[in-house]
Structure formats: structure tokens, C-alpha cells
């Protein structure tokens, strides 16, 4: 089964009908189904932070999304894996962050790159061009 990494920009687009990439995110998930979704606690932290002040309805939907992902599934993905933030992953992501001061990659991005490399995943559900800079395919940009 195909494994793709879910980045924050994808989750935000999927769960916020007002997001400019919402329609593409919904359509892309339907095209990929079934698939294995890979993400991280760092991505989920960014996702929840984004929805923290968007009103009770969207905040509730975001909470339900995270709960469902942590239970290992989504409506479209057959399986989901949420990689926990460990001291080792943090240290490796921090090294990428520290060693590339020429880039504007966030620590969460660096964590994502590390996890994708470890899992051998080359495609990300994201609109973030930084993934392309690291050699990954940003599926929302390819549309």
C-alpha cells in the first residue's frame, strides 16, 4: 500500500473549508485512496495550534481529527501512523535545522524530513515548497 506523509498544510486545508487548498486536498485524498498516512506529533501540534483560535466548531473538528489519527485511521486512509516526538528524533531534526541556516525550514519541517527519510517515504501531502527543496514530492503543489 502506498504511504504518504501528511504535513500541517495538508491537514489545515483538509479540515478548513475556507482554506484556498481545501478542494485540492479533498480531491487528492480521494485519488490516493486507499493509502497509509504517516505523520508526526510535531505536525499534529502545529495543526492544533493553527485551529486553537478559529472558533469552537473548527477547533472541535481538529480535535476529532487528531483523536482519529492517534487511533490509527482516517476515513480515507486504511491506516495511519503518528510518529511520536522522541529525544532522538528531536536531536536529528535539530541537527538538520542547525546545519542549514541558509534555509527557512521550521523545526517541524526538519522533523518531517527525518521521519520521511527513515520510513523511505518520498511523497508528502503538503503545499510547502520546502519539501521539494529536500527532494520530496509535494503532492498539493503538483496539482
Locate the domains of the chain by residue range.
Answer: 3-84+121-138
pLDDT, residue 63, reads 92
pLDDT given for residue 78 in this prediction: 62
Q: What is the pLDDT along the chain (143 residues), one digit of tens a residue?
A: 899 999 999 999 988 888 999 999 999 988 988 889 999 999 999 999 999 988 898 899 889 889 888 887 555 556 889 999 999 999 999 999 999 999 999 999 999 999 999 999 999 999 999 999 999 999 998 66
Residue 80 dihedral angles phi and psi, to the nearest 5°: -135, 145
- What is the pLDDT, as a whole number, of residue 9? 94
Grid cell of 12 as nine digits: 489545515
- Confirm if 140 and 28 have CB atoms less than 8 A apart: yes
Enter the pTM of the model: 0.89
The per-residue b/e assignment along 102-136, b for 16 or more CB within 10 angstroms, e otherwise, is eeebbebbbbbbbbbeeeebebbbbbbebbeebeb
Q: Give the ranges where 52-134 is alpha helix by DSSP (H).
A: 56-70, 87-99, 107-119, 129-133
Amino acid at each position: 500500500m502506498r504511504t504518504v506523509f501528511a504535513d500541517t498544510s495538508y491537514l489545515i486545508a483538509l479540515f478548513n473549508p475556507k482554506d484556498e487548498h481545501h478542494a485540492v486536498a479533498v480531491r487528492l485524498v480521494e485519488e490516493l485512496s486507499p493509502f497509509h498516512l504517516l505523520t508526526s506529533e510535531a505536525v499534529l501540534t502545529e495543526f492544533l495550534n493553527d485551529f486553537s483560535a478559529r472558533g469552537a466548531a473548527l477547533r472541535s473538528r481538529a480535535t476529532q481529527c487528531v483523536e482519529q489519527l492517534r487511533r490509527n485511521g482516517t476515513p480515507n486512509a486504511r491506516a495511519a501512523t503518528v510518529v511520536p516526538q522522541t529525544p532522538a528524533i528531536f536531536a536529528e531534526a535539530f541537527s538538520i535545522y542547525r546545519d542549514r541556516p541558509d534555509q527557512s525550514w521550521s523545526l517541524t519541517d526538519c522533523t518531517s524530513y527525518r521521519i520521511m527519510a527513515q520510513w523511505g517515504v518520498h511523497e508528502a501531502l503538503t503545499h510547502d515548497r520546502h519539501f521539494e527543496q529536500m527532494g520530496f514530492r509535494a503532492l498539493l503543489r503538483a496539482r
